[in-house]
């Protein structure tokens, strides 16, 4: 099948984000004069340069296709509470795969770039966000904006195959390797915008944590993994050995040749780490063990192959089955013991520098999301996101809705990390 303006079909590792219509938002707080017309012009330039932003999803013989949209992505402005950066947002992956949402409160605004997760992961989207603010600055200063047009981002499957990584057990799913498309997203799923609370460390505190990691020979991701596992164990009143950490890994700098930020759509692997009985229940010890598992998984290729392998396993259980048969099979195969609780942490790393005019400052960065989920799964829709913006480390916790328990976890995490930097 050929479709006018089509770029390509989604691969299995990209389709999983369409199944629940997942959009991720990358938000900055802007203080000062924000020119709406200049922002629209800048976003139009970015959409021309990165065609995936101007796409939509369509079902064809090859499965789910990304095709050129009939309309340009929206730039939306409204007045409201900056704690709710997605106020008024209505998303439909059959209409648009990106948008820009601005919520204003006096001289301060939250500006959120929303991208559908099937076309861009965090590092990809942050690179686009930096390009957006660079274009905005040029427009305000009267500099012509003419970004070079980029090719449509490549799939994880293609990028890995070029470098010798292939899924251990490819699914027998037809030419595209993708199971038949039924209802996307599935019936019964409803939109969920999680409330995000944030714990920010001052530049001096961030430096102290970095120096602690250097002294103790542990990575920042490792130290934070150990700390939040201990905090979650305390709040859940379970041994830390009962928890599993799910940690997405950006593969761009870990593959040869390396991959540019927007060259791939979702260039990620995954680590599932569990504290064993032989590991001291201390953040540094846990962090070192986490680092060892990460290095071992990258060395043997299991992390690079992890996402295709996970999707392949899911597809082999669902290809040819009706939704009712899939749910019944899942119930039959589910163990009586649901297993350890899974804690999710994503470390976006250093947020790229963003140019702004002299009369506008970007004062904060955070990540928000919108997903379609079954109401029964709302309670499990929690996750930590770590980033460093303008020299400040931030730990955010997404929660189904605003709750005192959410802030208490972050307060406890801050206290633990602050105490460690003061230890001799």
Q: What is the mean pLDDT of the chain?
A: 90
Say yes or no to pLDDT of 411 above 90. Answer: yes
Average pLDDT over residues 71-83: 92
More confident call, 53 vs 333: 53
Nearest of 348, 364, 393, 352 to residue 134 by alpha carbon: 352
**Whole-angstrom distance, CA of residue 199 vs CA of residue 410:** 6
Look at residue 168 in the predicted model and tell me its pLDDT: 56
Look at residue 177 in the predicted model and tell me its pLDDT: 47
Look at residue 173 in the predicted model and tell me its pLDDT: 38
Say yes or no to pLDDT of 1 above 90. Answer: no
Say yes or no to pLDDT of 342 above 80. Answer: yes
Q: Sign of torsion, CA 187 60 369 290?
A: positive
Say yes or no to pLDDT of 424 above 80. Answer: no
3 state DSSP class of 353: coil
Say yes or no to pLDDT of 320 above 60. Answer: no
Say yes or no to pLDDT of 319 above 60. Answer: no
Largest CA distance in the chain: 66
Say yes or no to pLDDT of 175 above 50. Answer: no
Look at residue 186 in the predicted model and tell me its pLDDT: 77
Cα 92 → chain centroid: 19
Say yes or no to pLDDT of 16 above 90. Answer: yes
Q: What is the pLDDT of residues 129-172, one digit of tens each?
A: 999 999 999 999 999 998 999 999 999 999 999 999 976 544 43
Q: Sign of torsion, CA 57 61 63 66?
A: negative
**Whole-angstrom distance, CA of residue 418 vs CA of residue 421:** 5
Say yes or no to pLDDT of 307 above 70. Answer: yes
More confident call, 378 vs 168: 378
Walk me through the domains of the chain, giving residue ranges and CATH numbers: 7-162 (3.30.559.10), 190-354+378-422 (3.30.559.30)
- Lowest pLDDT segment from 70-74, 178-182, 188-192: 178-182
- Lowest pLDDT segment from 154-168, 218-232, 397-411: 154-168
């Amino acid at each position: 099948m050929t479709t006018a303006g089509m770029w390509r079909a989604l691969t299995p590792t990209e389709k999983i984000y369409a199944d629940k219509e997942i959009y991720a938002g990358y938000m900055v707080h802007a203080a000062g004069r924000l020119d709406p017309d200049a922002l629209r012009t800048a976003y139009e330039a970015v959409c021309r340069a990165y065609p995936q932003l101007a796409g939509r999803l369509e079902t064809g013989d090859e499965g789910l296709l990304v095709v050129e949209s009939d309309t340009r992505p929206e730039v939306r402005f409204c007045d409201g509470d900056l704690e709710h950066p997605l106020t008024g947002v209505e998303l439909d992956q059959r209409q648009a795969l990106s948008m820009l949402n601005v919520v204003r409160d006096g001289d301060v605004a939250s500006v959120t770039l929303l991208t559908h997760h099937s076309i861009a992961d965090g590092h990809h989207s942050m690179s686009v966000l930096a390009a957006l603010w660079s274009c905005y600055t040029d427009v305000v200063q009267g500099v012509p904006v003419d970004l070079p047009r980029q090719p449509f981002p490549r799939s994880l499957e293609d990028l890995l195959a070029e470098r010798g990584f292939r899924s251990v057990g490819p699914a027998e799913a037809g030419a595209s390797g993708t199971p038949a498309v039924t209802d996307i997203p599935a019936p019964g799923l409803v939109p969920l915008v999680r409330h995000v609370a944030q714990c920010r460390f001052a530049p001096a505190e961030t430096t102290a944590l970095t120096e602690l990691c250097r002294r103790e020979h542990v990575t920042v991701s490792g130290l934070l993994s150990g700390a939040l596992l201990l905090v979650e164990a305390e709040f859940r009143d379970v041994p830390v050995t009962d928890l599993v950490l799910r940690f997405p890994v950006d593969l761009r700098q870990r593959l040869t040749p390396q991959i540019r930020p927007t060259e791939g759509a979702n260039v990620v692997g995954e680590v599932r780490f569990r504290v064993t009985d032989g590991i001291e229940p201390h953040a540094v010890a846990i962090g070192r063990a986490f680092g060892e598992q990460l290095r071992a998984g990258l060395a043997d290729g299991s992390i690079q192959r992890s996402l295709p392998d996970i999707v392949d396993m899911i597809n082999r259980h669902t290809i040819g089955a009706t939704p009712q048969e899939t749910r019944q099979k899942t119930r039959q195969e589910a163990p009586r013991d649901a297993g350890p609780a899974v804690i999710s942490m994503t470390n976006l790393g250093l947020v790229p520098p963003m140019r702004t005019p002299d009369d506008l400052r970007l004062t904060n960065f955070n990540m928000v999301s919108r997903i379609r989920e079954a109401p029964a799964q709302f309670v499990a829709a929690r996750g930590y996101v770590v980033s460093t913006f303008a020299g400040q480390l931030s730990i955010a916790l997404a929660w189904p809705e605003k709750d005192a328990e959410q802030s208490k976890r972050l307060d406890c995490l801050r206290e633990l990390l602050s105490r460690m930097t003061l230890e001799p």
